[in-house]
Structure 1
């Protein structure tokens, strides 16, 4: 049982790790100044592909549930992240996004009947502090609309995670993932056309490769692993794994883009990893560890 749980955690952790490469792929492979197009082409083609592969369509209440979940987890979330990214320094947006585990824990008490524990609160605050040390820079400029968009993105994603746990889809996870990606893509389509206009008439092979990576790996695979994790694990545990995304993004920037990595950032990264590891421990595990450590040799 423990080995199976660890395997699910590791597979789920691959999703935010993949998402951590999005900034690098976007800046190095995609046309500039088209983030909404990237989000649209990441979601809609991947969702349609999964629907074709699984050959399953929603039935009954799952038409509106799939639309709502897809809007929360993908469509509205990516649109709000776009606004926050344009109006805030990346470090501020990432730090606000790190509030998501705490928001999920709070929503779970009302929607799932779980108990908010001191360990969850302290671990969540440690995760926020770790992300701030990892990505925040001095002299950052704040924007009220950007902050509201970042908070809203964290809230809609947290709500989507909790509702995904409350409403387990009666189909394989690939089919449910396809439904949500299609719904999120359809929500993004008019927003993208309104804000950015039609797609570029010329795309290079490098551009197409970047879009293919974001769609096949960053959406179809990553979201399937993420939603499977939500089915199998407590939602708070899953969202703590999302803290891996800024860690991977920072590591990729250091390795591939020669970005500077400071001692403060290393401390922040270590805090993040410690927080998400503690968050994955089953209830009572810390108490057992303390009792073992206090036994005389």
Structure 2
């Protein structure tokens, strides 16, 4: 185990999610800021390319042995993730960052609901769902196109969680993520490449697009892969409730999308849901192993 991984294991999942969320939505804030100059689908494509290049160079997946089944799983994961990015950015072009992420959270909520097995976890999920609904608001009711894009991203987010968990359990670090995103970049090229010519000729725009990939995908999704190896899908899905909260805060600070009083109530409800949920047995065992001097 490397020194960096040892340090990550010493952090609770909530702390890792906070770092991941901040990184992802710093990337999203950068992306939204250039939508007037670059089409959202092109930013999403370059985001995937930037992340894939960094992760592939770091993990060097060509040095590893992959079974046919593993490669299929990695490909499905990468294509779903790339399409999720495209639909999410098309939605963000029409809806505020905080509310877009909140509506997109329907996918993780569905996964959490299916895998919830105790009354306490059901109660935690109820708090999180209520908070997300409060944060979502009703302002997007007259924006059907944006809403449909976000809902499509939500469906793909659920796929990302389920398939991403399987990719993470192969335990190849971020190699599966990097290889998957490389495949995803090729798959969505017909969507993102048209109209991208001017970006390749503008160092500022190209750098910003690639930075979005580093912040949102390489760092954010890389932390997700590590976390998915530590905790079950149910808890991972519920902890994702921290993302709408973070998105509201980043949207406020970076994009001047100020939350209302009711938004703050929603944030509080989400945080209650995250705090009251049960810790899974696998985490208790891991904690004992880490702290037992024997």
Q: TM-score, normalised by structure 1?
A: 0.76
State yes or no: 1:45 paired with 2:46: no
The answer as to 2:215 corresponding to 1:207 is: no
Q: Structure 2, unaligned stretches of length 5 or more? A: 1-7, 282-294
Q: Which residue of 2 aligns with 1:290?
A: none
Aligned to 1:80: 87
The offset of 1:225, in angstroms, is: 0.5
Separation in structure 1 between the aligned mates of residue 243 and residue 112 of structure 2, nearest angstrom:
19
Please give the per-residue CA displacement for 1:68-125, whole angstroms capped at 9, x wherever unaligned.
Answer: 11122x1221233244445666666434322233321355x5xxxxx53343343333
1:28 is matched with 33
Are the structure 2 counterparts of residues 125 and 249 from structure 1 closer, same or farther at C-alpha, using a change threshold of 3 Å? same
Task: Say which SS state the counterpart of residue 173 (structure 1) adopts.
Answer: coil
SS in 2 for 1:227: helix
Please tell me whether the aligned partners of residues 76 and 153 of structure 1 are also in contact (alpha carbons under 8 angstroms).
Answer: yes
Deviation at 1:200, TM superposition (A): 1.7
SS of 1:21's partner is helix
Relative distance call for 1:168 and 1:252 in structure 2 (3 A) is: closer
- CA change 1:190–1:120 in 2 (3 A) is farther
Q: 1:203 to 1:240 in 2, by over 3 A?
A: farther
Mapped pair 1:105 → 2:112: yes
Tell me the equivalent position of 2:215. 217
Alignment of 1:1-297 (within 5 A): 4=9, 6-29=11-34, 32-57=37-62, 58-72=66-80, 74-85=81-92, 93-106=100-113, 109=115, 116-138=117-139, 140-143=141-144, 146-166=146-166, 168-193=168-193, 196-200=194-198, 204-279=202-277, 281-282=279-280
Distance 2:44 2:125 in 1: 28
Counterparts of 1:81 and 1:32 in 2: how far apart (Å)? 18
How many pairs were matched up? 272
What do you get for the CA RMSD once the two structures are aligned? Answer: 3.2
Between the aligned partners of 1:220 and 1:128, the Cα distance in structure 2 is 28
CA–CA distance in structure 2, aligned partners of residues 25 and 71 of structure 1: 23
Change (3 A) 1:181 1:201: closer
Alpha-carbon distance change, 134 to 94 in structure 1, aligned in 2, over 3 angstroms: same
Distance 1:11-1:260 versus aligned 2 partners, 3 A rule: closer
Change (3 A) 1:137 1:148: closer
Deviation at 1:141, TM superposition (A): 0.9
Question: 5+ residue gaps in structure 1?
Answer: 110-114, 284-297
Say if 1:75 and 1:202 are closer, same or farther in 2 by CA, change over 3 A.
closer
Aligned 8 A contact 1:37 1:199 in 2: no
Distance in 1, matches of 2:178 and 2:235, equals 23
Report the 3-state secondary structure (helix = DSSP H, G, I; strand = E; otherwise coil) of the residue aligned with 1:116: coil
CA gap of 1:120–1:71, structure 2 versus 1, over 3 A, is farther
Structure 1 position 262, deviation (Å): 2.5
1:166–1:158 Cα change, 3 Å? same
Q: Is the contact between residue 120 and residue 279 of structure 1 (CA under 8 Å) also seen in structure 2? A: yes
Residue 23 of structure 1, CA deviation:
3.6
Q: TM-score, normalised by structure 2?
A: 0.77
* 1:125-183 alpha-carbon deviations (Å, 9 max, x no partner): 3223323333525473152x654543332222212312333454535222112112212
